[in-house]
Amino acid sequence: IFIGLSLGSILLLIALGLTITYGAMGVINMAHGEMVMVGAYTAVMVGMYLKLNIFFAIPVAFVVAGGLGFLIERLVVRRLYGRLLDTLLATWGVGILIQQAVRLEFGLGFFDIHIPGLGPGLQKVDVPAVLRETIAIGDVVIQPYRSFIILLTLALAFLTWWLVYKTALGVQVRAIMRNPNMAAACGIDTKRINALTFAYGSGLAGIAGVMMSGFKTVFPDMGSSMVVDGFMVVVVGGVGSLLGSIAAAGLLGQINGIAASLSNDILARAVVFGVVILIIMWRPKGLFSYKGR
């Protein structure tokens, strides 16, 4: 259960960024996976060079990935609004540039952060003792690191909900999601809101990368598959629906975890794809489709 929930939590962090980015801006950000990778590399670098533990890597990764997303929106995406295919190709190209830049800087080596029971651990990155130890309650073994991922994701999901539905900034975001032209006519600075939205979504992906670095190998291509998983969560949950993303991430994470425990990761991925296909055949607009007026 914890494996499925922790994986679903990471998928949710990735999907939240995609949901608000596409919902507010109509942009399919193919470089979103590279924000995950940047976050993971940030965790490794913070540990290796700054000698700080993974707790400190979380805000640093949010700032680094969010800042990179802000630059991408300002320099590339802003000039392509309303051209879906062009933004898709442009962000895909940006993602390749980021991958190659990381390869040039760090080479083709693999990095791992060692947490007992989760990763092989080739690098000496400090992980707090409270996250390293496993807790056994009867026959149930609880890994604090996975529990931490779940709790952090719940907190960030609540923060995102609060920002979108309970703040003045969120009102502007939802106005842009419904009708960007009308929102601009009402005096909303759509360019500023779009840049902040893109940066926030990228920052969430960066945090997902930090969480992944605890039990996944860190390498330049690691974000490519994760962005596909993130899009599956968005499609299954319903484009623009935060509640749908939460439900879909939990569902797909549990299916993946159960299938992997019964067979292997490759078959588990095939099962998840099969479930996604069945769901979108049943509900083409997702489990919680966004209703516009």
Q: pLDDT tens digits for 267-288?
A: 888 888 899 999 888 888 888 8
* pLDDT score of 208 more than 80: yes
Is residue 130 in a domain?
A: yes
pTM of the model: 0.87
Domain that holds residue 136: 2-282
Is residue 51 in a domain?
A: yes
pLDDT at 156: 94
pLDDT at 92: 92
Is residue 29 in a domain?
A: yes
**Overall domain count for the chain:** 1
Is residue 290 in a domain?
A: no
pLDDT at 124: 52
CA distances from 45 to 213, 264, 276, 279 (A): 11, 31, 36, 40
Specify the CATH number for the domain of residue 102.
1.10.3470
Is residue 142 in a domain?
A: yes
pLDDT at 1: 59
pLDDT in tens, 135-162: 766 666 677 888 888 899 999 999 998 9
* pLDDT score of 233 more than 60: yes
Is residue 292 in a domain?
A: no
- What phi and psi values does residue 50 have, to the nearest 5 degrees? -95, -10
Q: Which of the pair, 181 or 82, is modelled with greater confidence?
A: 181
SS3 138: coil
* pLDDT score of 112 more than 70: no
Is residue 287 in a domain?
A: no
Q: In the structure encoding, which two tokens stand for residue 66, read together? A: 């969010």
- What phi and psi values does residue 220 have, to the nearest 5 degrees? -60, -30
Q: In the structure encoding, which two tokens stand for residue 105, read together? A: 């800087």
Q: How many Cβ atoms are within 10 Å of 2's Cβ, its own excluded?
A: 16
Q: In the structure encoding, which two tokens stand for residue 240, read together? A: 């623009």
Q: How confident is the model at residue 241 (pLDDT cuts 50, 70, 90)?
A: confident
Contact assessment for residue 21 and residue 201, using Cβ atoms and an 8 Å cutoff: yes
pLDDT at 8: 84
Q: Please give the mean pLDDT across all residues of the chain.
A: 83
* pLDDT score of 20 more than 70: yes
Is residue 144 in a domain?
A: yes
Using CA atoms, how far apart are residues 21 and 23, in angstroms rounded to an integer? 6
Using CA atoms, how far apart are residues 100 and 141, in angstroms rounded to an integer? 40
pLDDT at 18: 86
pLDDT at 59: 94
Q: CB-based contacts of 85: which residues, under 8 Å, 6+ apart?
A: none
